[in-house]
Amino acid sequence: MKITVEEEKCCGAGQCVLIAPEVFDQREDDGIVVLLDAEPPAERHDAVRESADVCPAAAIHLDGDE
């Protein structure tokens, strides 16, 4: 699994950080998503998928996800 994020679409909700705090964070000044781990280990894939699903700005994309 490879994660990409669209900073321009990100609305700073932080839903991804709530679900997968090992993978996502937010910038202090404007809340935009910070990708901590673009290729997380398998045990975090479910949380990452949920983060991508609930992202209110549809700003998280997953490649190579089975």
Partner 1 sequence: MNAPGHVLVVGASAAGLSTAEALRRKGFGGRLTLIGAEPEPPYDRPPLSKQVLSGAWEPTRAQLRTKEVLDALDAEFLLGDPAAALDVERRSVSTASGTTVSADAVVVATGITARTLPGQSGLRGVHVVRTVADSLALRSALLKARRVVVVGDGVLGAETAATARLMGLEVCVVGPQPAPMTGQLGPFVAGHLAALHTGNGVGLRTGVLLDALLSQDGAVTGVRLSDGEEVAADVVVAAIGCSPCTDWLAGSGLDLDDGVVCDAHCRAAEGVWAVGDVARWHHQGLGRLLRLENRTNATEQALAVAGNILGEDRPYLPVPYFWSDQFDVRLQVFGVPSAENTVEVVEGDPAEGRFVVRYDGPRGPVGVLGWRMPKQARLHRAGLVDHYTQPLEPTAP
Could you say whether residue 13 binds partner 1 (CB under 8 A)?
Answer: yes
CB of 37 to partner 1, least distance (A): 18
Q: Which residues pair with 33 in a beta bridge?
A: 26
Task: Please spell the DSSP secondary structure of 6-51, one letter per residue.
Answer: -TTT-----HHHHH-TTTEEE-TTT--EEES-SS--GGGHHHHHHH
CB of 16 to partner 1, least distance (A): 10
Q: Which of 21, 39, 58, 63 binds partner 1 (CB under 8 A)?
A: 58
Could you say whether residue 54 binds partner 1 (CB under 8 A)?
Answer: yes
Query: Computed from CA positions of residues 63, 61, 35, 17, in that sequence, does the dihedral angle turn out positive or negative?
Result: negative
Interacting residue ranges for partner 1, rule: CB under 8 A: 11-15, 17-18, 26-28, 30-32, 49-50, 53-58
